[in-house]
Structure 1
Amino acid sequence: MFDSIGWPELLVLIVVGLFILGPERLPQGAAWLGKTVRQVKEYATGAREQIKSELGPEFDELRKPLEDLRGIRNFNPRTAVTKHLFDGENPLDGITNTNGSTNGSGYQPKPADPPKPAQRPLAPGERPPYDSDAT
């Protein structure tokens, strides 16, 4: 619930609470807020458990589309393209990581192209090579 609130925001809320409630009533207000948040969490957990017990296995069927929608929020284009092009196999599986471990499947990447020969600088007065197909 408070995943998006960081330390700076919390500090601002405390300072605002000091101005609004004053230093005498601030601890009572914080205790009330803590109880209220805890009670709301208990209500939400109780409602979820009640729905789960009443629906039984159908609860998981209803929950799966919601999980799919939640997955759209964390959409990764690279994963989607990989899934559709490689039938769900990750082409990076089996590649050794920098720490020496592998990603799991037996996929082996194609070997790297052989290195190109080193190019030498042109001599004075020498014309650079010209490729008529490239122009």
Structure 2
Amino acid sequence: MDAEKFFILLLIGVFVLGPERIPGYAAQLGRIVKEVRRMAAGAQEQLREELGPDFDSLNWNKLDPRQYDHRRIILDALNEDAAGPDSGTPVTKPVTLSAPAPRLVEHLAPGQLAPFDSEAT
């Protein structure tokens, strides 16, 4: 967040909360942040205790779900199903995804109302 956005949020906070309540809310926010940090540190320490020395050598980036391509995972699963589970034989015809067929669009004549289904709502 850049300084301009922060300043705008601060200004909105002054108008909404009023200058007399801002110190109380700032102190409460500080306590919440400290509590969340304490909880995160506790969870990390608990993981370190339960996983032992393997915790420090764990590659967290490898576990990031954002790095996976869902299309590749689905294609691999479809190709595996085509070969048969545990068959050990290569897939003879791999599955590929194709683009969906283009939809035909009907244009309404000038003044014509769009179709409406009263039972659908």
TM tier, smaller: 0.3 to 0.5
TM-score normalized by structure 1? Answer: 0.42
Q: Which structure would you say has the larger RCO, counting Cα contacts within 8 Å and 6 or more residues apart? A: 2
